[in-house]
Chain A
């Protein structure tokens, strides 16, 4: 089942993502939406669900005023001139699980959106307005908070300057071609592990040797059970590498902008220094983070143990 607006907003709060929320009557177009939230001063977004010939989907969020040149975008993605079309309504309902007029990056939180080849592109760096899965609400959040959300669901996304019109031709290869999602989308039941690492077609290893017959689906069964008892979104909360990356992502832009201002040096010159610094600091940072994680696990393990000893099952409030 798809996420409801309330579930989404609860999730955003869990992730400490700031947003402001405005109710209004159902709107189906940007023009209508402007009537209710235009006065608030942020930027309205125009959201499109596009599809290419290989059935890959693209969610594009542009500032409301941008002209949408699908032909050009299609060329820039290396899909040829007529490669992109508006996706049919069924995709909206089936994949994004949102109603008509409600295309939004937040729909990417749905499981159904995960296993399609999907690329999200957006073009603004300011505060933007989006529908949170339903047409009678608009939420406003900054692009860094949108980034946070996208990182939390592990979705590939890209800033694209949709105003730019590079001349795509023989001498100018499609500049966005790298962003096109790889892999053929599965429209059926989601496979347990669709990760970017499952790149098909490069297999050089011939299958060797006879293995024991029916090496099972049992490992898969175990994983399904594990997933059922967990929340729908894989919890990245205890992932040390992700945490270290988050820390760098917070500090790097701040550092770059402050230093470049102060020393009057271009940011690009500094960023290679910062990359080197990041590589050198990562092992130590990962080490201390892992120590912290292990220490915190230990403390809660002790606490759980004590609770069981002293209070038994009464020590925990019932889950239902």
Chain B
């Protein structure tokens, strides 16, 4: 879904009044670029600017009630924090109606890092909790259009990424994975063209920031990512059910695609998809740095060994602790910038333990080394589990997930 940096829509925000020096912050958030102003991404402003809703505690409690299980830690911790029309999905689910899930990945590299897994981990939870089917789109065509890769290479990367996605634990009886180069055509293509006819050149430039120098491949790509929101794109799955609702878990930078989709949907007789959106995953070396494939120490990869995880966390994870033990005991740690604490927020399951660590660390009683040690243990367990599952994924299993086949048990 996300591509390389190109021009995006900029947000200029003038800072506060009241005696504080007015600071100009500029954050850029779109599918191809995410960069923060000083102090990191301002999510409140983002939600305001995009026009989506915040996910509050009442909604999280409602999800827990409807699914008769504790809410996922990403909900408890406010990592999935915004939505569009999630209430409608919950209403219809409560009435006994169905919906399906849609998420995806742009297969630009073979190496997946932990941040890439976040939407998939959450989507798996949604699949298990609501017992609904899922379609996963691998946008190999997008990567071909935006990056310097051959078609064969993007197709190969799509299959490789599919293996890591399957290793997240999706249920083959309820999951259809497809890559654009393999699947586009038929009813899917018909929907693409229907969407395309409803979006002017000016509109798409306004949403995505295309310029006259961009080739027409880029400009005509957005409908490809829009139409998996419509069940009629999958006649082998949802035939006869073209009002079935769709819920899309994704990172908030994907919002523009689905703003466009929601705008078009009623005009072509379809339901608007609902969204549930997450914050960004911080890079190992600090919020204001970027994770990049060229710097292996900018992230923890799913292929890292326990030793590599330990080294990376100890050497490169940006710490909010003080420079010396005495100073640390006195002043405590700055949790706002401390990356190990942020990672624990994402990956440590036990709420009580997390609170305890945060308190002790902030008040200087726990040292950076101890926090990092705990993080290394948590990440090693996670990565080991992923690697074990990944080892079990065969080419035939990928074929099975990607086969255009009916899913008779998909709502079971």
Interface status of A263 (Cβ within 8 A of chain B)? no
- B67 near A218: Cβ-Cβ < 8 Å: no
Partner of B172, one of A193, A221, A235, A293: A293
Chain B residues contacting A199 (CB-CB under 8 Å) are 65
- A215 near B68: Cβ-Cβ < 8 Å: no
Residue of A nearest to B394 (CB): A298
A244 CB → nearest B CB, Å:
11
In the complex, A170→B166 CA distance in Å?
56
Contact A295/B241 with A205-B91, A229-B408 known, Cβ cut-off 8 Å: no
Chain B residues contacting A297 (CB-CB under 8 Å) are 172-173, 400
Residue of A nearest to B410 (CB): A226
Chain A residues contacting B169 (CB-CB under 8 Å) are 286-287, 290
In the complex, A286→B94 CA distance in Å?
27
- A212 near B68: Cβ-Cβ < 8 Å: no
B407 CB → nearest A CB, Å:
10
- B243 near A202: Cβ-Cβ < 8 Å: no
Over the window 108-125 of chain B, the binary record of Cβ atoms lying under 8 Å from chain A Cβ atoms (1 yes, 0 no) is 000000000000000000
- B88 near A211: Cβ-Cβ < 8 Å: yes
A135 CB → nearest B CB, Å:
35
- A238 near B173: Cβ-Cβ < 8 Å: yes
In the complex, A209→B271 CA distance in Å?
13
Partner of A195, one of B68, B400, B405: B68
B60 CB → nearest A CB, Å:
13
- A193 near B400: Cβ-Cβ < 8 Å: no
- Which residue, B172, B243, B389, B394, has most C-beta atoms of chain A within 10 A? B172
Tally B residues with Cβ within 8 Å of A.
46
Over the window 154-173 of chain B, the binary record of Cβ atoms lying under 8 Å from chain A Cβ atoms (1 yes, 0 no) is 00000000000010011111
Chain A stretch 215-229: residues in CB contact (< 8 A) with chain B: 215-216, 218-223, 226, 229
Chain B stretch 217-243: residues in CB contact (< 8 A) with chain A: 240-241, 243
Chain B stretch 68-97: residues in CB contact (< 8 A) with chain A: 68, 85, 87-88, 90-92, 94, 96-97
In the complex, A131→B223 CA distance in Å?
62
- B388 near A205: Cβ-Cβ < 8 Å: no
- A197 near B91: Cβ-Cβ < 8 Å: no
Residue of A nearest to B271 (CB): A212
Residue of B nearest to A225 (CB): B240
Contact A197/B65 with A290-B169, A294-B397 known, Cβ cut-off 8 Å: yes
- A298 near B92: Cβ-Cβ < 8 Å: no
A211 CB → nearest B CB, Å:
7
Interface status of A291 (Cβ within 8 A of chain B)? yes
In the complex, A209→B92 CA distance in Å?
13
- B271 near A196: Cβ-Cβ < 8 Å: no
Contact A192/B96 with A238-B173, A240-B171, A290-B169 known, Cβ cut-off 8 Å: yes
- B388 near A287: Cβ-Cβ < 8 Å: yes
Interface status of A198 (Cβ within 8 A of chain B)? yes
Interface status of B54 (Cβ within 8 A of chain A)? no
- B244 near A235: Cβ-Cβ < 8 Å: no
In the complex, A99→B130 CA distance in Å?
38
Tally A residues with Cβ within 8 Å of B.
48
Interface status of B197 (Cβ within 8 A of chain A)? no
- A215 near B92: Cβ-Cβ < 8 Å: yes
In the complex, A238→B407 CA distance in Å?
13
Chain A residues contacting B411 (CB-CB under 8 Å) are 223, 226
Chain B residues contacting A220 (CB-CB under 8 Å) are 96-97
Contact A294/B385 with A199-B65, A208-B87, A234-B412 known, Cβ cut-off 8 Å: no
Interface status of B403 (Cβ within 8 A of chain A)? yes
- B172 near A298: Cβ-Cβ < 8 Å: yes
- A295 near B392: Cβ-Cβ < 8 Å: yes
Chain B stretch 291-342: residues in CB contact (< 8 A) with chain A: none
Chain B stretch 164-186: residues in CB contact (< 8 A) with chain A: 166, 169-173
Chain A stretch 240-294: residues in CB contact (< 8 A) with chain B: 240-241, 283-284, 286-288, 290-291, 293-294
- B400 near A207: Cβ-Cβ < 8 Å: no
Chain B residues contacting A195 (CB-CB under 8 Å) are 68
Interface status of B194 (Cβ within 8 A of chain A)? no
Interface status of A32 (Cβ within 8 A of chain B)? no
Partner of A294, one of B68, B166, B412: B166
Residue of A nearest to B64 (CB): A197
- A291 near B65: Cβ-Cβ < 8 Å: no
B264 CB → nearest A CB, Å:
14
Chain A residues contacting B15 (CB-CB under 8 Å) are none
- B65 near A302: Cβ-Cβ < 8 Å: no
- B400 near A298: Cβ-Cβ < 8 Å: yes
Interface status of A301 (Cβ within 8 A of chain B)? yes
Interface status of A69 (Cβ within 8 A of chain B)? no
Please list 23 pairs of residues, one from A and one from B, whose beta carbons are closer than 8 Å in the complex, sorted by A's number. A197-B65, A197-B66, A197-B67, A202-B65, A218-B244, A226-B412, A238-B409, A287-B388, A287-B389, A288-B388, A290-B169, A291-B388, A291-B389, A294-B393, A294-B397, A294-B400, A297-B400, A298-B172, A298-B400, A299-B396, A301-B399, A301-B400, A302-B396
Name A residues whose Cβ lies closer than 8 Å to a Cβ of B: 191-193, 195-199, 202-205, 207-209, 211-212, 215-216, 218-223, 226, 229-230, 234-235, 238, 240-241, 283-284, 286-288, 290-291, 293-295, 297-299, 301-302
Name B residues whose Cβ lies closer than 8 Å to a Cβ of A: 58, 62, 65-68, 85, 87-88, 90-92, 94, 96-98, 128, 166, 169-173, 240-241, 243-244, 266, 271, 385, 388-389, 392-394, 396-397, 399-401, 403, 405, 408-409, 411-412
Q: Which 10 A-B pairs have the closest CB atoms?
A: A291-B392, A193-B96, A298-B400, A298-B397, A197-B68, A301-B400, A294-B172, A297-B172, A219-B98, A290-B169
